[in-house]
Amino acid sequence: MGTFRRLRTAIWRKGFRLRFWVVFAGILGFTSTVLSLVDKHLSWIQGAALALLSFAIALAASRKQMLEAQLSVDDVIPEEMGRIARTRVECPCSSDVAQQASRLAQECYGTHFTISATTYDAIWLKNPEVLAALVNEEGNLLGYFDVIPLKDAFAQLFIEGRVTEDQLRHDDVCTVSERAHCKYLFIAGLAVWSPESFSGRRNASMLVWALMRYLEHYYGSMQPLTFAVAATEEGGDILRRFKLKLTTDAANRPDNFRLYSVRLSDYEITRRLACLPGWRGLCVLPWNDNLIPVRSIRPTLPQIRHHTLEPAI
């Protein structure tokens, strides 16, 4: 009974199905090829026997996949102790890292209703703090986010759905010196390389944590209205999970993207940070803790956790 129960459960596992059908089809395909070469044909009884034998061999070869994995080793520790790679956030970024981020953005968002490369370069030159990049010890890009402080006129039109992201110009962006008076903050993008891999998932967690710390450092005291458009399915999911408020529906926007927003504050940042692991031990931020030796601290879970975030008011 235990074997049949495990088999019934294993059928739904991708690893079991893949191994089983590769072995099963391989045996039948190899046998059919050999029989064709010798010009021999099987009777229906012999064919049924061959199918049953192939089934039994494939089942035996996939036996290990019938057992539930006890844990994901990579999720516990990605590499051997002492070899775990550290990361850092660059902000402002070097031109090389900025170009890497531009290539990643094109891979994730394409060019439809997005800021053109020429316009983005002008925005970045005007305010180099709009782009923050997660890089490894060799300086290679792992992921990025960009946060653009907008002047009132364009921001209001954007939120109302009367203009789209590709209509943004550098004149609509606040400079670093104008940041203290910023009332509107646009989270334009966030992406990592290889998001389906373990390292990609870990980098994504680091990047979102770094984004929260970035907002806390640069804009937490100003309480700007912070918004983003759900240009991808994943983007919409993370905005909803972080309980941003649906402000403009896709039907009322020319880009057909939903726009979500939240009034930024220390409280709103803290309650979201409480849902994320702390990555101070593996990720160095340029605006704080950059003088603390990385090896002396470890990533820690938050002291409080909000398992469910109430919608922002």
2-13 pLDDT, tens digit each: 455 555 555 556
In a domain, 156, yes or no: yes
CATH number at residue 153: 3.40.630.30
The answer on 147 and 209 residing in a single domain is yes
Q: Would the pLDDT of 109 be above 60?
A: yes
Domain boundary among 24, 40, 66: 66
Q: Would the pLDDT of 62 be above 80?
A: no
pLDDT value, residue 83 = 57
In a domain, 303, yes or no: no
The answer on 275 and 140 residing in a single domain is yes
In a domain, 198, yes or no: yes
pLDDT value, residue 290 = 45
The answer on 231 and 130 residing in a single domain is yes
Report d(CA 20, CA 259) in Å as an integer: 45
280, HSE (Cβ side, Cα atoms, 13 Å): 16
In a domain, 312, yes or no: no
117 token code pair: 């490369």
The answer on 166 and 139 residing in a single domain is yes
Domain that holds residue 44: 2-66
The answer on 122 and 201 residing in a single domain is yes
The answer on 121 and 60 residing in a single domain is no
Helices 266-273 & 198-219, crossing angle to 10 degrees?
160
User: pTM of the predicted model, to two decimals?
Assistant: 0.72
Report d(CA 44, CA 11) in Å as an integer: 27
Give Cα separations from 292 to 259, 279, 296, 297, 298 (angstroms). 38, 13, 8, 8, 12
In a domain, 30, yes or no: yes
In a domain, 211, yes or no: yes
